[in-house]
Amino acid sequence: MNELRTIRAKSGTNQEGTSAHNRRVIIEAIRLNGPLSRADLARATRLTKQTISNLVEGLEADGLVASEEVVRGGRGQPSTPYRLVPEGAFALGVQIDRHLTRLVAVDLMGQEVARAVANLPPGGPVEGCKLILRLIETMRADLTRRIPESAHRLAGLGLAMPGPFGLAPSDDETWMMAEWQAFPLVETLAAGTGLATSLQNDATACAAAERMNGSADGLDHAVCIYFGYGIGAGLILGGELYTGSNRNAGEIGMVLFSRGGAPSPLEHRSSLASLFQHLGLDSATTEAYAEVERRTLADDPRILDWLAGAAADMRQAVHMVETIFDPQTVILSGSAPEPLAKRLFDAMFPLIPSNADRPGRTLPRLQLGMIGPWAVALGAAAEPIRRAFDPRFSAILKTAS
């Protein structure tokens, strides 16, 4: 028997794929604008009134939208606005860091409804996954008691951990979680939870959070520079998160920078991990974060010295991503202590002139976004919501779920 020939082609679409995409378009329109009538939706999306009526009825039957009180007045007919139902869907997000894990649950609007945190046990990913599964089981049971409909409205499980992914094991374990990366993490947690599960790096997770409820909400082109234990960039290109062929797009922490000496990776010089090393702090403890915050607020000279060099590097990073990606704005976000991130943000100005310096800008070149220890976990939870409900090209394809 002859083997089937591999033929390169894009997937086609059909009526179901088009309908799925249009549902997503309506959901996004209401999320971005607030309650909208069928006439508003038809005008904004350029779909026919009959198509809008059919789609809204389906979304209402699925518990994703609900009608509000009829609006009367004016010269037109009374209209009925439709809003999103927060309890229409839920998702779980897990951040796996080097020494601990955070778990959050969010609703359809991306608002947090539950959280948990625990130190990772000895034993690597085998024991770590057992702990994560126990945390998830406990949270799901608690959600079911509080919000009974959540039991059958979970859109999925999002995971986030430091990248880059798929590289050869590194001797520098400070920067990579090689043992976790070699472990079948997605498969293990998907099997243990029965949920559709996906993995992204922590910078992409922060970008997902910014796009759902942060400074990138409603933007089609933005770069989120992640400032945490490491450094990365989450890319929002053409209205979608771009992760690259191996989920390693935006790994700017590995770009070589120089301050007059031998070049070294950006995150070896200007990340939170590099500051821990500079101060001689043990990054395996949460006390290190608290100590950095305390010293920042006290204007510790060693913090200020490190900030000067880090700000110079980060100015270069902003110039680089502006030149390559031409975003509407660059957003500094991450899991560093908030006082430190704010000091770094302020020290990055004035920015280096770039092609982003143009008349008629409506957004600043650089903004401060979500900062804090839960930003990554929230972004991980936003991914299943995004995958299920945001307009995406793949939603039109026959292979789309």
In whole angstroms, what is the distance from residue 109 CA to residue 139 CA?
A: 19
CATH number of the structural domain 89-207+378-392: 3.30.420.40
Is the per-residue pLDDT at 308 higher than 70?
yes
Name which residue leads in pLDDT, 90 or 400.
Answer: 90
Where in the chain is CATH 3.30.420.40? 89-207+378-392, 215-371
Of 175, 178, 198, 195, nearest to 186 by C-alpha is 198
pLDDT interval class at 163 (50, 70, 90): confident
H or E segment to which residue 18 belongs:
helix 15-33
In this structure, of 24-38, 189-203, 222-236, the range with the lowest mean pLDDT score is 24-38
> 231 and 252 in contact (C-beta within 8 Å)?
yes
Class (C level, CATH) for 15-84: mainly alpha
In whole angstroms, what is the distance from residue 142 CA to residue 140 CA?
A: 5
Of 214, 221, 220, nearest to 356 by C-alpha is 221
Where in the chain is CATH 1.10.10.10? 15-84
As a whole number, mean pLDDT of residues 140-149 equals 94
Kindly report, residue by residue over 78-133, the tens digit of the pLDDT.
Answer: 789 999 999 999 999 999 998 899 999 999 999 999 999 999 998 899 999 999 99
**What is the model's pLDDT at position 261?**
76
Q: Give the relative orientation of helices 338-347 and 286-297 as an angle to the nearest 10 degrees.
A: 50
The C-alpha R_g of the chain, in whole angstroms, comes to 23
- CATH fold for domain 215-371: Nucleotidyltransferase; domain 5 (3.30.420)
Q: Are strands 197-201 and 154-161 parallel, antiparallel or unpaired?
A: parallel
